[in-house]
Amino acid sequence: MKKIFCMISMLVLSAFIIGGCASVNQRLTPSAETVVSDSNDTIEVIQAPVSAASSISEDLHALGFRWSNKTQDMVFITVGAAGIVDISAVVFNIDGNIISIDKSENTLTDFENWSTRQFSMSLEQFRQIAYAQIVTMKVVMIDKYSVSSFGISKKGAIVNGKFTSFLQQVDVQLAKLMN
């Protein structure tokens, strides 16, 4: 009887540990979600910013993304840098192809846990980033810049695991709009 009780206790404890770790992981590295607004027929797919650095030796950057049925051919990206800095532009080197974005979607850098600024790019450019072997992201500030990298061949960046789910959800919404 004691043996059965110990086995059941271990199973219950294991379930709590696994469930607890999953919820902590979701809070620290949230997954993309589709949000539907009934008030204005807006559908958005949102990936909250997560780490975009493939190693601890790189600068601390975050990258998040948002797609809307109101701007179907665009993705709004949220670029983050550690500290209190004024982000003015972002430059992506996507497998040797340079894309520079200096037109911000908001007038000021947001200062919360990260300094963040929102930019926009075409959905096609975003897909290039998502499927690239190596992406170098240069975050440009007023008097300096910082660099991080991610991509299929750069295994350490959390953002690598967020592109597929995001694009799958975007593609589902695009297919619905075509019907």
Judgement on whether residues 13 and 37 belong to the same structural domain of the protein = no
Co-location of 1 and 36 in the same domain: no
* 153 vs 15 pLDDT, higher one: 153
Q: Do 72 and 54 have their domain in common?
A: yes
**Residue 5, pLDDT above cutoff 60:** no
Measured between alpha carbons, how far is 53 from 90 in angstroms, rounded to an integer? Answer: 14
Residue linked to tokens 């170098």 = 136
Checking if the pLDDT of 108 tops 90, the result is no
One domain, residues 41 and 121: yes
Quick: pLDDT tens for 33-50.
Answer: 999 988 888 999 999 999
Same domain, 39 and 111: yes
Residues ≥6 apart with Cβ < 8 Å to 8: none
The whole domain housing 58 covers 31-178
Say yes or no: 71 and 150 in one domain: yes
Whether residue 171 contacts residue 41, with contact meaning beta carbons closer than 8 Å, is answered with no
**Mean pLDDT score, 128-156:** 95
Predicted structure pTM score: 0.81
Say yes or no: 94 and 165 in one domain: yes
pLDDT exceeds 90 at position 22: no
CATH number of the domain enclosing 166: 2.60.40
